[in-house]
């Protein structure tokens, strides 16, 4: 690839010019004797590092009846250890001018700090300590359980959109843990206790279930030496085993759920299909779905935006997205916000017509090229951010991918053809979606009660 193409990839290159990019550059990997994996992503432009520890456990790995414990445990990891009181780690990060955070998904939990490179060893020391020496007593757990319950009240129970999202997921992922919210169900969070926390910690927070990712101004030898001095001294506490789950299934036929709430100022609609993820797809089907999402709803030149917003004026906003990274089958989403005078049913029919046109007639070469260039150039820009690079590899490695697959992704995406995109649309999106309508207070009386319970209408 030429220097000019890198400087202005949208204007100066075709998608084929991106095929030889290796995402992340010269990445190195290693494995400690206790089974902990290590990934090093060099970036010597500034004396800064991003230090991340990813655990191969998320909400979809929780035992039945224990929903929310993965996210709850993310909170508990910021409490004290046998060696350091609660808050000391965070205070240390703040004192040296760094930043930190953590997050939980269906398939992983991750913790990270971004600090000056000379503090990397300190971050590893603290992180290794809480991997092995967390103090879990009822005195620690009880107040944090209340914090999580309040978080659920604020983010879900007081947010109509989030409540509707929970119902949509439960309908899309029948008999699969992706249908259970990451934060957990209220009654199950209330029942989580010390025994649950200790069992979860001992099974999953063990070095052989963790991945260390360091991106920044470091060498592989430096990172490996520090890792051996810190994480390498930890013993395996368990063998988590295979992450086996039932295959996601969606009930055949049309399904619609409506939620009406006086808090809603702007109604909207969502449609969801069950599709393969990068981990479960065959061949380049996932790459084709990625391109399809971009063509259908990736910005102001997309099919949905141009037809519904610009041409017909029935929507104020419209788009689509593909949740590509998941251990199991995942979702493809279309969303739209109606303009005044357009009903949600009319909007759903309009989005379906746009999709059907792609299924029947395919996409143009121009659309294909524009979509691939957009996706591939975003990957180039992502390499300017070491934290983003660390996250890309962390997500992939905890959802069934490999370093090699991530690095070769541009070549696979560049190979997608117009025929591949149409075939993906026909194969995965021809069936009826799960449709969710969010309505405001002008809805007829009685709908609010239906919506609040998540019943179908």
- pLDDT 10s digits, 328-357: 999 999 999 999 999 999 999 999 999 999
CATH topology of domain 26-233: Cytochrome Bc1 Complex; Chain A, domain 1 (3.30.830)
Burial class (CB in 10 A: 0-12, 13-18, 19+), 143: exposed
Please identify, in words, the CATH class of the domain defined by 255-452. alpha beta
Give the confidence band of 13 by pLDDT, cuts at 50, 70, 90. Answer: low
pLDDT above 90: residue 152: yes
pLDDT above 90: residue 235: yes
Q: Identify which of 328, 334, 325 has the alpha carbon closest to the alpha carbon of residue 248.
A: 328
Q: Coil, strand or helix: which one is 340?
A: coil
Contacts of 418 (CB under 8 A, 6+ apart): 362, 363, 364, 365, 368
Q: What is the mean pLDDT of the chain?
A: 92
What is the model's pLDDT at position 247? 85
DSSP-assigned letter for residue 177: G
The one catalytic residue among 37, 74, 100, 287: 74
Q: Where in the chain is the domain with CATH 3.30.830.10?
A: 26-233, 255-452
Give the confidence band of 6 by pLDDT, cuts at 50, 70, 90. Answer: very low
| 74 is annotated as an active-site residue | yes
DSSP-assigned letter for residue 84: S
The pair phi, psi for residue 308, each rounded to 5°, is -80, -35
pLDDT above 90: residue 434: yes
pLDDT, one tens digit per residue, over 380-393 is 898 899 999 999 99
Distances (CA, A) of 127 to 131, 185, 216, 322: 6, 29, 18, 33
What mean pLDDT is predicted for residues 70-92?
Answer: 97
pTM exceeding 0.95: no
Do residues 137 and 194 lie in contact, with contact meaning Cβ atoms separated by under 8 Å? yes
Distances (CA, A) of 85 to 80, 131, 318: 4, 14, 49
pLDDT above 70: residue 283: yes
Q: Give the whole-angstrom CA distance, residue 171 versus residue 141.
A: 32
Do residues 276 and 282 lie in contact, with contact meaning Cβ atoms separated by under 8 Å? yes
């Amino acid at each position: 690839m030429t220097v000019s193409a890198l400087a202005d990839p949208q204007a100066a290159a075709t998608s084929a010019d991106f095929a030889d990019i290796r995402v992340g550059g010269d990445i190195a990997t290693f494995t400690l004797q206790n089974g902990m994996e290590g990934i090093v992503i060099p970036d010597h432009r500034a004396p800064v590092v991003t230090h991340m520890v990813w655990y191969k456990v998320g909400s979809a790995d929780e035992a039945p009846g224990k929903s929310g414990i993965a996210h709850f445990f993310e909170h508990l990891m910021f409490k004290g250890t046998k060696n350091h009181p609660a808050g000391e780690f965070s205070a240390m990060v703040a004192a040296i001018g760094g930043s930190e955070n953590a997050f939980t998904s269906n398939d992983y939990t991750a913790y990270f700090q971004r600090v000056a490179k000379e503090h990397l060893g300190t971050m590893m020391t603290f992180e290794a300590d809480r991997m092995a020496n967390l103090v879990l007593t009822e005195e620690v757990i009880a107040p944090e359980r209340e914090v999580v319950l309040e978080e659920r009240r604020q983010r879900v129970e007081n947010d109509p959109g989030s409540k509707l999202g929970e119902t949509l997921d439960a309908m899309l992922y029948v008999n699969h843990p992706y249908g259970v919210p990451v934060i957990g169900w209220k009654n199950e969070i209330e029942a989580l206790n010390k025994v649950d926390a200790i069992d979860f910690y001992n099974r999953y927070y063990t070095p052989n279930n963790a991945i260390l990712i360091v991106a920044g101004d470091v060498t592989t030898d430096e990172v490996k030496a520090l890792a051996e001095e810190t994480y390498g001294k930890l013993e395996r506490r368990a063998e988590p085993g295979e992450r086996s789950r039932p295959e996601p299934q969606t009930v055949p036929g049309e399904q619609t759920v409506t939620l009406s709430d006086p808090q809603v100022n702007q109604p909207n609609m969502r449609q969801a299909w069950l599709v393969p993820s990068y981990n479960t797809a065959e061949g380049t089907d996932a790459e084709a779905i990625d391109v399809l999402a971009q063509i259908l709803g990736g910005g102001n030149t997309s099919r949905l935006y141009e037809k519904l917003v610009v041409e017909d004026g029935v929507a104020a906003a419209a788009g689509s997205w593909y949740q590509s990274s998941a251990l199991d089958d995942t979702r493809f989403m279309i969303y739209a916000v109606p303009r005044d005078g357009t009903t949600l049913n009319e909007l759903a029919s309009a989005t379906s017509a746009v999709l059907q046109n792609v299924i029947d007639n395919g996409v143009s070469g121009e659309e294909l090229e524009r979509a691939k260039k957009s996706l591939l150039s975003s990957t180039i820009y992502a390499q300017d951010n070491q934290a983003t690079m660390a996250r890309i590899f962390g997500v992939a490695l905890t959802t069934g991918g490999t370093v090699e697959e991530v690095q070769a992704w541009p070549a696979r995406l560049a190979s997608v053809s117009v025929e591949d995109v149409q075939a993906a649309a026909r194969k995965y999106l021809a069936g009826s979606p799960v449709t969710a309508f969010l309505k405001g207070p002008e809805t007829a009386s009685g709908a609010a009660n239906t919506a609040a319970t998540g019943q179908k209408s």
